[in-house]
Amino acid sequence: MTTKEIQIHDKSFYPFISESEIMTSVKTLAKALEKDYEGKDLLLIAILNGAFMFASDIMKCIQRDAEISFVKVSSYKGTQTSGRVDELIGLNNNMENRHVVILEDIVDTGITIDKVISLINANDPASVEVCTLLYKPEAYKGKHKPKYIGFEIPNKFVVGYGLDYNELGRNLKELYQLKEE
């Protein structure tokens, strides 16, 4: 792992969680899913864009049959009076009686994941849990604390391993934390 600070757009970041620490955590999470969902029909749902790298690595570590689907959260103005409505683009799997695990890169306030859970619950799955690589306990205000957490981290901005700063930094193999001036 590089020990050097990096620059993305106008900000500096320093190394935070190494590639090997990430991979150890991903393997542990994959093992926990294998154990907890043994004999059950498992459907993984990864939230784009940020979770693409985490989802890919966790899929490679799961040594059993598992289906995966990639969805995107979108907000749009309704044509009626309801105002903002959120939908999940790409959600077309049959979920009835299936066990869903949502794969997220990071849970911060928990607003996104709460919306995703309620949209998924409308499809009558047997169960829904969240598996996130990163979780910020100090920022979290949601209703569904993730069951599977890779790292609990301070309430500071991070990039790398799928997470971006204004669309850059997603390709970094390790995680970097914002350097506060």
- The minimum distance between CB 109 and ligand 5GP, in angstroms, equals 3
Q: Which of 164, 167, 140 is nearest to 153 (CA)?
A: 140
- The minimum distance between CB 177 and ligand 5GP, in angstroms, equals 8
Residues whose CB falls within 8 Å of the CB of residue 134, separated by 6 or more in sequence, listed in order: 105, 106, 107, 149, 150, 151, 153, 158, 175
Q: Is 108 a catalytic residue?
A: yes
Backbone angles phi, psi at 117, to 5 degrees: -60, -45
Q: Which residues bind ligand 5GP (CB under 6 A)?
A: 50, 106-113, 157-159, 163-165
Catalytic residue among 41, 108, 114, 124: 108
- The minimum distance between CB 169 and ligand 5GP, in angstroms, equals 7
| Amino acid in the structure at residue 142 | G
DSSP sequence for 108-143: SSSHHHHHHHHHHHTT-BSEEEEEEEEE-TTT---S
Q: Which of the residues are catalytic?
A: 108
